[in-house]
Amino acid sequence: MTPRIAIVGHPNKGKSSVVATLAEDDSVAISPLPGTTTQARRFPMRVDDELLYELFDTPGFQRPRETLAWLTEHHPAAHERAQTVAAFVATHQQDERFHDECELLGPVLDGAGILYVVDGSKPYGHEYEAEMQVLQWTGRPRMALINLIGDGDYVDAWRRALDQFFSIVRVFDATRADFSRRIALLRGFGELSEAWRPAMDRAVEALTTERKHRQRQSAVEITDLLIVVATSRVSKVLAPEADVDAPHTELTGRLHDRVRRRETQARNAVQTIYQHASVTREEHAASLLGVDLFSEQAWRVFGLSRGQLATTGALSGAIAGGGVDVALGGASMLLGAGIGALLGGVGAFVGTPSLARSKLVGLPIGGRELIVGPIRDPNIGWVILTRALLHHRLVAERNHARREALIIEDGAETRLSEQISAADRRAIDRLLGVIGKRGGAEVSEREALEDLIESLLGARNEPGNVHE
Ligand SMILES: Nc1nc2c(ncn2[C@@H]2O[C@H](COP(=O)(O)OP(=O)(O)OP(=O)(O)O)[C@@H](O)[C@H]2O)c(=O)[nH]1
Ligand SMILES: [Mg+2]
């Protein structure tokens, strides 16, 4: 039996937000104005075409006292109360004044269970009692959710009132609930009715499997991004006597653009995997994810520190592998003011994001080919990877009731890369080093990277400075 649950309550208490979260649906209408939802609407939750449960978003109660008065006037015996509620709806189907009551009671009379949503940041009031009594009259399985829209805390008073009418009472933050809290709520539905338990257990299992699958798919995306960055190069044929300075600057710009685009593409893919494609990623200028990839700030926040680079082997590897020498050689070969500026005159290459290998090759047909790339800065892979991990975490934990842009603050004092263990860093560095040198990845290397990144995506770190 497919569990069906109607989300009901007072207007503007987050009913639609709860639906959006549990149905993973961005299209649910949510707004600060009361009366946003005017019709009962069904939201099936499917994974791979398997219907797991159905939710009904409903309008809020408008005239609960009058509704209750009508019901009690008919003073039915307890075993006839549900029928009396049905009679109320049948009688008022065409009555505009009770439109919202009829809409919200419809799915319940059809067999849905009840999820009653209140705002625990506002004081409990007597006016809610009529709503709760009407719901009680339906006799359907009932759970109450204390949502917290504002800063107040009246949870205890609410709990005492709700306990009178509902068999399960939970606190649930509709816009911030992460995956584990959603799963806990679904298990609660299983407790509400014996008949639903097998279906809810199955739903939990299917969603957990799907989540693992999403992590794997994201790991595949991020791995490909890293490989592209480690191997990308751009080139241009120059006339025999042509100046190399300007083309070098141009090619470096093209290389950076290609990497930037690939990063954006990976982010879009990850958002699609988590059904967040429609989230506007208006990356705020001050947001860490919006900081230009090739900026000093990105390097500082996302890159490895000198110490980390040393223990990772990236530093010595880059030197031993000739990456830095070649890059500097390329620069000295091209000795021009432009290149000097490009390197920024900074002694350290940690914090010099633009460092790319460049080569000038004589062509047999005459003229020369200038090749720029791949980017040899030992930090490039780490900046890309740490940004991707952060983005993934925000997307994966983001819930579908959230409608604002993905924004995080640059308040991070510690480097985000510290969340990656030294052992993982070394393993990733070794793989990227080999791939970069060869200019491509073998299948086994790709898979090994995917495994490592998948395990990083699965690790549950706190999101740090998430800006609400
Ligand atoms: N901060 C915060 N805001 C919330 C939360 N839940 C809902 N809101 C906001 O409260 C407002 C109302 O949310 P809705 O989900 O549209 O409420 P509703 O109960 O469906 O409202 P109606 O359809 O008008 O009855 C929206 O602006 C939501 O963004 C929450 O847990 N935290
Ligand atoms: Mg609504």
DSSP string, 404-432: S---BBS---S-GGGGS-HHHHHHHHHHH
CA–CA dist 173, 180 (Å, integer): 12
Whether 368 contacts 362, CB under 8 Å: yes
CB 252 near ligand 1, within 6 Å: no
Work out the average pLDDT over 152-156. Answer: 96
Confidence of residue 401 (pLDDT cuts 50, 70, 90): confident
Sign of CA dihedral 104, 11, 4, 114: negative
Residue nearest to atom 5 of ligand 1 (CA): 149
Place of tokens 């062509």: 363
Short-list 60, 56, 137, 136, CA closest to 98: 60
Burial code (b: 16+ CB inside 10 Å, e: under 16) for 273-292 equals: bbebeebebebbeebbbbbe
Higher confidence at residue 307 or residue 410? 307
Express each pLDDT in 91-137 by its tens digit. Answer: 999 999 999 999 999 999 999 999 999 999 999 998 899 999 999 99
Query: What distance in angstroms lies between residue 37's CA and the mean position of ligand 2's atoms?
Result: 4
Residue 404: per-residue pLDDT: 65
Work out the average pLDDT over 407-418. Answer: 56
Neighbours of 195 (CB within 10 A): 12
Express each pLDDT in 260-319 by its tens digit. Answer: 999 999 999 999 999 887 665 544 434 677 788 888 877 777 887 777 777 776 544 443
Radius of gyration of the chain (CA): 29
CA–CA dist 81, 345 (Å, integer): 83
Whether 5 contacts 114, CB under 8 Å: yes
CA–CA dist 370, 334 (Å, integer): 11
Express each pLDDT in 362-391 by its tens digit. Answer: 777 777 888 888 887 778 898 899 989 988
Confidence of residue 242 (pLDDT cuts 50, 70, 90): confident
3-state helix, strand and coil shares in percent for the chain, rounded to the nearest 5? 50, 15, 35
Sign of CA dihedral 341, 326, 365, 254: negative
Query: What distance in angstroms lies between residue 195's CA and the mean position of ligand 2's atoms?
Result: 28
365: CB partners within 8 A, 6+ apart: none
CB 399 near ligand 1, within 6 Å: no
CA–CA dist 219, 273 (Å, integer): 11
Residue nearest to atom 6 of ligand 1 (CA): 14
Sketch the domain layout of the chain as residue ranges: 4-192, 212-458
Residue 27 reports pLDDT greater than 90: no
Work out the average pLDDT over 238-255. Answer: 87
Query: What distance in angstroms lies between residue 193's CA and the mean position of ligand 1's atoms?
Result: 27
**Range with the lowest mean pLDDT among 156-170, 175-189, 281-295, 420-434?**
281-295
Work out the average pLDDT over 349-361. Answer: 57
Mutational pocket test of ligand 1: of 25, 31, 399, the residue with most ligand atoms within 8 Å of the beta carbon: 31
Say which ligand is closest to the CA of 15: 1
Residue 397: per-residue pLDDT: 81
Query: What distance in angstroms lies between residue 12's CA and the mean position of ligand 2's atoms?
Result: 6
Residue 374: per-residue pLDDT: 87
Residue 360: per-residue pLDDT: 76
Residue 141 reports pLDDT greater than 90: yes
Whether 93 contacts 102, CB under 8 Å: yes
Distances (CA, A) of 166 to 116, 137, 144, 159, 352: 9, 12, 6, 10, 61
In CATH, what is the architecture of 4-192?
3-Layer(aba) Sandwich (3.40)
Residue 163: per-residue pLDDT: 97
Pairing state between β 50-57 and 4-9: parallel
CB 15 near ligand 1, within 6 Å: yes
Say which ligand is closest to the CA of 175: 1
Residue nearest to atom 14 of ligand 1 (CA): 14
Average pLDDT, the chain: 83
Is 21 strand, coil or helix? Answer: helix
The pTM assigned to this predicted structure is: 0.80
Neighbours of 113 (CB within 10 A): 21
CB 34 near ligand 1, within 6 Å: yes
Tell me the residue ranges of DSSP E strands in 150-255. 168-171, 234-238
Ligand 1 atom closest to residue 468's alpha carbon, by position in its atom list: 1
Residue 7 tokens read as: 């989300």
Place of tokens 């393993």: 427
Say which ligand is closest to the CA of 35: 1
Express each pLDDT in 343-353 by its tens digit. Answer: 332 223 333 44
CB 218 near ligand 1, within 6 Å: no
CA–CA dist 122, 193 (Å, integer): 30
CB 37 near ligand 1, within 6 Å: yes
Ligand 1 atom closest to residue 117's alpha carbon, by position in its atom list: 19
Whether 419 contacts 297, CB under 8 Å: no
Whether 296 contacts 377, CB under 8 Å: no
Q: How many residues does the chain have?
A: 468
